[in-house]
Structure 1
Amino acid sequence: MCLYEKILSCEEKVSIVGLGYVGMPIAVAFAKKIKVIGFDVNKEKVELYRNGIDPTKEVGNEVIKNTTIDFTSDESKLREAKFHIVAVPTPVKEDRTPDLTPIESASRTLGRNLTRGSIVVFESTVYPGVTEDICVPILEKESGLKCGLDFKVGYSPERINPGDKVHRLETIIKVVAGQDEETLDIVAKVYELVVDVGVYKAQSIRVAEAAKVIENSQRDINIAFMNELSIIFNKMGIDTNAVLETARTKWNFLNFSPGLVGGHCIGVDPYYLTYKAEQMGYHSQIILSGRKINDDMGKYVAEHTVKNMIKVNKQINGSKVVIFGVTFKENCPDVRNTKVVDVIKELEQYGVEVKIVDPSADKEDLWNEYRLTLSNTEDISGVDAVIFAVPHEEFKSIQLAEVKKMFKQKELVNVGASNEYAVNTDFGEEVDKNECVLIDIKGMFNRNEATDAGFLYWRL
């Protein structure tokens, strides 16, 4: 009986190493069919899962409560499994070179608990060669076993889109690769248990690694093009959204929009490819140019916020700005590598006090990563500008009239017997037309309606 058949009959288990935005949905899906061990080094996170709480919001608390996953932070439990899936993040360092610490650490942990006859599949996004040249030697050293003889490896790049309820693990074709035909066949069959649309067998592990890293690099470049167009059209006084809506009437125009590009995938993965290219003696031109544009967009947004505030005679130093949304994308609690933080830091350089409203963001991660705290919508008042940075579903019901009330208001105050009046800008009458600066990065509001409502409106 082969390993796949033993897994199917529950004689052997599957382990998921790393229970984040990628690992958790995989673990849940497999647990509906086979026995699964869910391992994470974060004991607090494991305890949340055990108590039926999903901090990633990817599958929901109800699903976590009812899953059969054996959640653990005890690495020795990994010895009970024969098929291991490693789904840990692969970030970049401050110098924008790959930080392989998480995947190397996971490999050491797994290596210490690897048994003969096992298959290890890596899902983390890496540059071509990481699985075989970096992870395999670690597994061999820690286990004392020989790859190809005592255990095998495979690669199946994650394609999960955090916060996306349509494109899920089950509905996205799964790329799989193995070090030999036998391994590839087993890996493919195991994933076919949970991927309804099937798998695609890549020619080799390196091909699969390369395919994954260019998927996000391609998207990054396309968004960078949109951001550059936004910069150009802004100088021309042309609305970028109007241009794109017109261009989209052509059947083969690519549907991308300008915006802040952060997160743990699109804003990171291109650097893995360019790093490897540099090692091979080639300096990237297109990929790094796109990255530079996207990396600078936070500063660009902050600068235009300040410019628009100056247009309505706002005192910048000491002013107050509220930003709606701080996660790296909509409908997702993940704040890793969010470019909204770049906007915040840049505004603070001007002496601006920044408040943040985000019902989706992970408060603990926001504080640990950036030392930032959140405010409630009802506590926002007396602001000089409002920025809608992330189009969460919760924000789409906000009306322009509600936004208007957040700004500093005017009050006519009697200053003496002459019955003359002075202006108090803290509360009272509605502010004058176009004194309310509204920065709508992703175009949540209608430009004409915002302008008619008395906003000085700007968007990418």
Structure 2
Amino acid sequence: MSDKLQKIIDARGPIKKIGVLGMGYVGIPAAALFADVDKFEKVLGFQRNSASSGYKIDMINNGESPLKGEEPGLEDLLRKVTDTKKFECTPDFSRITELDAVTLAIQTPFKNPADLIPDFGALIEGIRNVGKYLKPGMLVVLESTITPGTTKGMAKEILEEESGLKAGEDFALAHAPERVMVGRLLKNIQEHDRIVGGIDETSTKRAIELYSPVLTKGKIIPMSATAAEVTKTAENTFRDLQIAAANQLALYCESMGINFYDVRAGIDSLKGEGITRAILWPGAGVGGHCLTKDTYHLERGIEIAGEMPLDYPKNADSIYILARKVNDFMPNHMFKLTEEALAAADKRIKGSKIAMLGWAFINDSDDARNPPSEPYRDLLVEAGAEVMVHDPHVLNYPNVEIEKDMESVVKDADAVVILTGHSEYFKLDPAEVKALMGKDQPVVVDGRNVIKPEEFIDGGFVYRGIGRGDIN
């Protein structure tokens, strides 16, 4: 612990003014919740006034959420904290000088997962902006998912270079990774336990002061900055591994001609003291900003944060990387199911009209980051299919036309393929869908176990579904 830093913090007093860099799925709800805390006086949300995202500034300041899809309570909370002037969105980064604490919630994608090199460009720009206006006694917290070793490595170096101050002596530095899922952002921030890892005890203590007032059910779990980085990347890696296990089992069930969902129910029924058989659901693929890359962050952490050689079976593949490959394969399997179903109706992919239902990677959301629907569509187009896409929440996507009218997408289609479990797809009526398609043997391929196969088969459809070896 640095006595110098603690004395500076004591002289500055409690955290009153907070800044949040990055007005996206993490930054917006986090900033709104900070602003709703009585002990905090002011929250500034920092957003570049760029051509692609500058529109968010006016929307947020008018109490409107730029996030689409269902986010319970978010817009009401935004309206409340902007009306009371406790929350303001600004493109003026010089106002960082007004603050006691700054958090960074900026995306950290990979340029190319094959080489495990993250694209920290936007995050580095944000860190430099903070460093330029950093004052003694301030707290800086990285919420972005990062490669283990980044906080006390690259981030610390940039902040010290830009500010002329020293982390752990002149300012506090910590990592407190976000743990949210679209569709329940506010709930997750308030109710999930918060991992807080400072580069020293003083930094951890100051970060705990920042996050504690926001929590309702969740508790603070303190640890080192590197341990916090590993916790975040590992929890997403484990979820990806669990999904891959379900996907592989579904492929096994298809091969053996049995119903995955019967097997899953049997596995899940084994309960009792000391018994854990957590099994997730298979599907058309894994998308999103986190699960598709965090495995590689964790793997690269061995290089960045490793202090001794890794002891691991010689020449053995990482089970985490193998899980990634399984999940990345599922859009290819969806293509194979589509091809088989069309063949059963005496058709080929080439020249067929395919109606894709769902572009977002998660149900009832507009989050279309790294969607498995994209590689699936690419395979169809490459094979010569005519493809139309429906999604009720995604407004636009680069180089892909997304329709809001489902009837126009399904009309005259040879195959309807479900890629996302949006609520309205659960209501699909076989007779109505068949009438729209106008085919004697229409095809339906279900990648999310949305429809009841028997009803569609009885209605004259050729059906294929992930894990449904009993019917496929």
TM-score w.r.t. structure 1 length? 0.88
Show the 5 A alignment for 1:189-268: 189-251=209-271, 252-259=276-283, 260-268=285-293
AA matched with 1:273: L
Structure 1 residue 102, shift from structure 2 partner: 2.1
State which of 419, 425, 428 in structure 2 corresponds to 1:389. 419
Match of 1:399 in 2: 429
Taking the aligned partners of 1:95 and 1:127, their CA distance within structure 2 comes to: 13
Change (3 A) 1:25 1:284: farther
1:80 and 2:120 are equivalent in the alignment = no
Question: What is the deviation of 1:284?
Answer: 5.0
2:79 is equivalent to residue 65 of structure 1: yes
Deviation, 1:166, is 8.6
The C-alpha deviation readout for 1:117-172, integer Å capped at 9, x for no partner, is 11101111112111110111111111222212221101111101111379521111
What's the offset of the Cα at 1:374?
2.7
Secondary structure of 2:450's partner? Answer: coil
Point out where structure 1 has 5 or more consecutive residues left out of the alignment: 410-430
Q: 2:138 is matched with which residue? A: 118
How far is 1:209 from its partner?
Answer: 0.7
Asked whether the equivalents of residues 119 and 153 of structure 1 are also in contact (C-alpha less than 8 Å), the reply is yes
Task: Name segments (4+ residues, structure 1) moved above 6 Å.
Answer: 4-7
From the superposition, tell whether residues 239 and 168 of structure 1 become closer, same or farther in structure 2 (CA, over 3 Å).
Answer: same
| Structure 2, unpaired ranges of 5+ | 1-6, 311-315, 467-472
2:176 and 2:401 map into 1 onto residues whose CA distance is 35
Shift of 1:198: 3.9
Aligned match of 2:3: none
**1:1-400 matches, cutoff 5 A:** 12-33=16-37, 34=40, 35-41=42-48, 42-57=53-68, 58=71, 59-67=73-81, 68-96=86-114, 97=116, 98-164=118-184, 167-251=187-271, 252-259=276-283, 260-277=285-302, 285-363=318-396, 366-367=397-398, 370-380=399-409, 381-400=411-430
What amino acid sits opposite 2:436 in the alignment?
M
Q: Deviations over 1:64-105 (max 9, x none)?
A: 222231111111122211201111111111244222222211
Q: Deviations over 1:183-235 (max 9, x none)?
A: 22221122111011243333311111111110000010111111111112112
% identical aligned pairs: 30
- Find the aligned partners of 1:278 and 1:320 in 2 and give their Cα distance: 47
Q: Deviations over 1:377-427 (max 9, x none)?
A: 131300000011111123333322232223134xxxxxxxxxxxxxxxxxx
**Residue 150 and residue 385 in structure 1: after superposition, are their counterparts in 2 closer, same or farther (change >3 A)?**
same
**TM-score of the pair, normalised by structure 2:** 0.86
Distance 2:211 2:96 in 1: 19
How many angstroms apart in 2 are the aligned matches of 1:129 and 1:202?
17
Residue 422 of structure 1: aligned partner: none
- Indicate how the Cα distance of structure 1 residues 119 and 166 shifts in structure 2: closer, same or farther if over 3 A, else same: closer
Alignment-mate amino acid for residue 90 of structure 1: T
Q: Which amino acid aligns with 2:98?
A: E
- 3-state SS, counterpart of residue 276 of structure 1: helix
Larger relative contact order, structure 1 or 2 (CA cutoff 8 Å, min sep 6):
2
The total of aligned residue pairs comes to 430
Query: 1:301: Cα distance to partner?
Result: 0.6
Larger radius of gyration: 1
Query: Aligned with 1:405: secondary structure?
Result: helix
Give the direction of change, closer, same or farther, for the CA distance of 1:343–1:395 in structure 2 (3 Å limit): same
Aligned partner letter, 1:14: I
In the alignment, residue 116 of structure 1 is paired with which amino acid? P
Q: Verify the 8 A CA contact 1:355 1:375 in the aligned structure 2.
A: no
